[in-house]
Every structure is written in structure tokens, then in C-alpha cells.
Amino acid sequence: MTRSVFRYLRWTMAPETAPEAPEMVHELECMSCDAAADPSEEFETARDWAFSHTGQHPSHRGYRETAP
């Protein structure tokens, strides 16, 4: 018989803040078609792409952000 001890912890996920940590990369993908922004270290660059894409395709309003 194996005995186990379970310990419940509260975990939080957040960007790494260590000085040697790589920059966060933002990539947005349109949920209506296969279009995707180029990966960028600046969220504003990905966001601007999404605004432009929605401007060209008004029915495309949902985007998924991925962490490559």
C-alpha cells in the first residue's frame, strides 16, 4: 500500500521578472480566419495589427494571443 500526502497550494502565473529573463513575445491570431500578427516584443505592435485587420474585415473581432 502506498501512502501519499497532498498539499494544496495557490499558484499564480506571471511574466518572469529576473533581469536575465527573455522578453515576452506577443502574437495575435484572428479567430475568424488564418491571419496572424508577426511575433513582437511590443504588445502595441500586435494590437495595432489586430485593429488594422478588423478595419479591413469588420466581422473579424475575436483574437487569440499565443505564447510561442
- Longest alpha-carbon distance in the chain: 64
Distance CA 43, CA 25 (A): 8
Residue ranges of domains in the chain: 27-66
Q: Each residue of 14-42: pLDDT tens digit? A: 878 899 988 889 999 999 998 999 999 99
Q: What is the pLDDT of residue 62?
A: 95
The predicted model scores a pTM of: 0.69
pLDDT band at 68 (very low <50, low <70, confident <90, very high): low
For the chain, give the number of residues: 68
Secondary structure class of 44 (helix, strand, coil): helix
Secondary structure class of 17 (helix, strand, coil): coil
Q: Each residue of 46-57: pLDDT tens digit? A: 999 999 999 999
